[in-house]
Structure 1
Amino acid sequence: MALIDKVPGELKLYIGGMFTLRRREALEQANITHVLSVLRLPLDKALFAPFKHMVVEVDDTDDENLLEHFPATNAFIQEGLDGGGGVLVHCAMGKSRSATCVIAYMMHRYGSSAAEALTLLRQARSICEPNEGFMKQLELYEKMAMPLNVEQVPAYQRWRYQQEIELSRACGQAPEAEKIRFEDEYHTDGNAAFELRCRKCRRPLATSQYIVAHAVSDTTENSSCRRPPQACAHYFLDPLSWMRPELEQGKLEGRLECPKCHTNVGKYAWQGMQCSCNEWVVPAISIAKGRVDEVRKLTDTASSAIRLPPGASVRPPSGLSRQNL
């Protein structure tokens, strides 16, 4: 008799593909009471008649959002285990989608990393291999500390925004206005190291926590085809609320003006642009370093001190000694 693959450990948790559902004797022996189907194919309802059944309709593609379903699939698996029965998680082949949901449950239950859970799962089913997109979602789930409500976590919200931007870019279009996430309307952390001010009118345009970091490209590969790197000439930023009138016009690219003096301070390109350091940034919302000043914020101690010219010292008022100061 063909057996079904059981996740290592004390849990009555099993994984498989569509053909696993045909192994009725093995399912009965495992006391399967709950079946989680993670696929979009038409399903024969007769196969699931004896079980409590949950379906998550997703394709096995990198851009599918399986992360949003983790709290619900975790709860379903837990319900089956708490009831004393066995739980089968399956997709078409028992390789990617089902593995992703089982790994998410193991992470949530044991606090393990995505890599650790995958290694353990492969002891039961060696072909398990979440696609690249699902693996990144599991890694994000790990960084988010496996919350009960992923949609309320800023990291998830930002990831969803990036997914929308990537979809728009792939279609050669600007994102829809209502899908643009203006970061300063979500996060107003006052602990920024510095702010960027318009060089002409001194209007604050951004603070350091809204700067998008990017790595300088290595020029050793195909160096004959690439120009030597230079210092970055731009700050790349998250969308900010003062940019709203321009970014919501639906244009693929354009320029950014200071909202106070209307000086051209930068540009944007939803399809991305290449920085002077050779790195491509997508999407690219940039402020030219030559159009702004970087103003460092003083610490409380420094801001309360007397600022003096270089070499100058504090002289006590007439009639007072330094000891009396």
Structure 2
Amino acid sequence: MALLDRVPGDSKLYIGGLFTLRRRDALEEAGVTHVLSVLRLPLDQRLFVPFKHMVVEVDDVEDENLLEHFPATNQFIKEGLDAGGGVLVHCAMGKSRSATCVIAYLMQQHNISAEEALSHLRKARPICEPNSGFMSQLELYGSMSTPQNVEESPAYQRWVFQREVELSRACGQAPDAEKIRFEDEHASQDSVDYELRCRKCRRTLATSQYLTQHASASSNSDPSKARSCAHYFLDPLSWMRPELEQGKVDGRLECPKCHTNVGKYAWQGMQCSCSEWILPAISLSKSRIDEVKPQSSAATGIRRPPGSTSMPPRRGPSKESL
């Protein structure tokens, strides 16, 4: 009788497809006590007697959010192995969804990258191949240092916000107001290189930590292209709330102090003057803004985000690590 596909190592961790559940003799011989099902198909519950069973109902599609389930699936696998039993992780084919969950577990347990975990897993089951969306989620999970609670990670929250923006774009509408992430309400008191101030009234509208770099304007690109960009693109900030929460697809941004038009936004994206397409496009016009070195930066090294008085500590990786 062919053995189950066992992940190399000391633990009794197995991976397979739906038909693996019908190999009762092999499951018993392997000492399987826990079964993790990662699929949405109707399941015959008789297949899971007498195992402890957990189901994660997801489809094998690139835009499915499997990342949010990693802490729970990791905990389920760990509980089964720590109790001395065997754990079978399966999906329909034992190729993408189940592989993704096993990789997430290996990453957390052994502090390895997604690629390293996939290479290790393929020693047991060569067909393993998470879809590209799941691989991106695994890479993000690694950059977040595989936290026990992904939903508290700023990196995860930004990723969810970006997904919401992309979904709204596909529907031709603005994101729901309650789902907009205003970055300065979550960030720490990071040091900044410069402030962006309204040229008319000198009100600080943003700091360098909230700028979103795009390919043509990044420091690794041709400096002449960076200078050609007519806008600063940045994260949503709390002073923009009255405008961004109106549900409009695009509009103007006014300085909250002097009400001068200082920029614009387009949830559907816009093309920068350097030809790069930006999504979402929230921008300040360079012709209406001055870059100013904060006077206190040399003394303290930090500045509070614009418009805030106190900020909660930031947990998770910095934007530079993403």
Provide TM-score, normalisation by structure 1.
0.87
Q: What residue number does 1:3 align with? A: 3
Q: Relative to 1, partners in 2 of residues 1:46 and 1:116: Cα closer, same or farther, differing over 3 Å?
A: same
Q: How does 1:262-281 map to 2 (within 5 A)?
A: 262-281=259-278
How far did residue 230 of structure 1 move?
A: 6.9
Aligned equivalent of 1:284: 281
Aligned CA distance change for structure 1 residues 183 and 302 (closer, same or farther; 3 Å): closer
Unaligned runs of 5+ in 2: 218-224, 301-322
Once residues 156 and 120 of structure 2 are traced to their aligned partners in structure 1, the CA distance between those partners, rounded to angstroms, is 26
Letter in 1 for 2:239: W
Q: 2:192 & 2:19 partners in 1: Cα distance?
A: 56
Q: SS of the residue aligned with 2:94?
A: coil
Equivalent residues in 2 for 1:29-48, closer than 5 Å: 29-48=29-48
Instruction: Provide the identity percentage.
Output: 74
Equivalent residue for 1:323? none
The residue type paired with residue 80 of structure 1 is: G
Where does residue 24 of structure 2 map in the other structure?
Answer: 24
Aligned to 1:53: 53
Give me the CA root mean square deviation.
Answer: 1.8
Q: CA deviation at 1:22?
A: 1.1
Tell whether the 8 Å contact from 2:234 to 2:282 is kept in structure 1 after alignment: yes
Whether the 8 Å CA contact 1:2–1:23 is kept in 2: the answer is no
- 1:102 and 2:102 matched: yes
How many residues of Structure 1 are paired with residues of Structure 2 in the alignment?
Answer: 294
Distance 1:302 1:26 in 2: 68
Give the CA deviation at 1:161. Answer: 1.2
Amino acid of the structure 2 residue aligned with 1:129: E
Task: Output the CA distance in 1 between the equivalents of 2:115 and 2:256.
Answer: 47
AA at the equivalent of 1:126: P
User: How big is the shift at 1:3?
Assistant: 2.4
SS at match of 1:287: strand
Name 1:203's counterpart in structure 2: 203
Q: Distance in 1 between matches of 2:251 and 2:295?
A: 35
Aligned partners of 1:59 and 1:127: how far apart in 2? 18
CA–CA separation in structure 2 for the residues paired with 1:297 and 1:204: 10
Q: Which secondary structure state, in structure 2, belongs to the residue aligned with residue 126 of structure 1? A: coil
Q: CA shift at 1:259, angstroms?
A: 1.1
Moved over 6 A (4+): none
**Quick one: structure 1 residues 263 and 299, their matched pair in 2 at CA, closer, same or farther if it must change by over 3 Å?**
closer
For 1:70-91, what per-residue CA distance to the aligned partner results, in whole angstroms no more than 9, with x for missing partners? 1111111111111111100000
SS of 2:98's equivalent?
Answer: helix
Structure 1 residue 42, shift from structure 2 partner: 0.4
**Residue number in structure 2 paired with 1:216:** 216
> Could you list the per-position Cα deviations for residues 110-160 of structure 1 after superposition, in whole angstroms to 9, with x for gaps in the alignment?
111111000010111111111111111111111111111111111111111
Q: What TM-score do you get using the length of structure 2 for normalisation?
A: 0.88
Q: Secondary structure at the match of 2:292?
A: strand
Secondary structure class of the residue paired with 2:34: strand
1:249 matched residue in structure 2:
246
Asked if 2 retains the 8 angstrom alpha-carbon contact of 1:269 and 1:285, the reply is yes
* 2: CA distance, partners of 1:230 / 1:163: 30
Instruction: Give distance in 2, aligned partners of 1:251 and 1:164.
Output: 15
For each residue in 1:49-83, what CA deviation from the matched residue of structure 2 results, as whole angstroms up to 9, or x when unmatched?
12000001111111111111111111111111111
| Amino acid aligned to 2:80 | G
2:133 maps to 133
Deviations 1:260-306 (A, max 9, x none): 11111111000100111111110000101010000012466689xxx
Q: 1:260 to 1:80 in 2, by over 3 A?
A: same
Pair 1:300–1:7, CA change in 2 (3 A): closer
- Asked whether the equivalents of residues 95 and 127 of structure 2 are also in contact (C-alpha less than 8 Å), the reply is yes
Q: Relative to 1, partners in 2 of residues 1:38 and 1:301: Cα closer, same or farther, differing over 3 Å?
A: closer
- Is contact 1:230-1:276 (8 Å) kept? no
Q: Does residue 158 of the first structure (1) align with residue 155 of the second (2)?
A: no
CA distance in 1, matches of 2:215, 2:178: 30
Spell out the pairing of 1:68-147 with structure 2 (5 A cutoff).
Answer: 68-147=68-147
Aligned to 2:63, what secondary structure does the other structure show?
coil
Q: Which amino acid aligns with 2:35?
A: V
- How many angstroms apart in 2 are the aligned matches of 1:153 and 1:285? 23
Q: Distance in 2 between matches of 1:270 and 1:177?
A: 12
CA deviation digits over 1:216-266, x for unaligned, max 9? 19xxxxxxxxxx997111100100111111101101111111111111111
Higher relative contact order (CA 8 A, sep 6+): 2
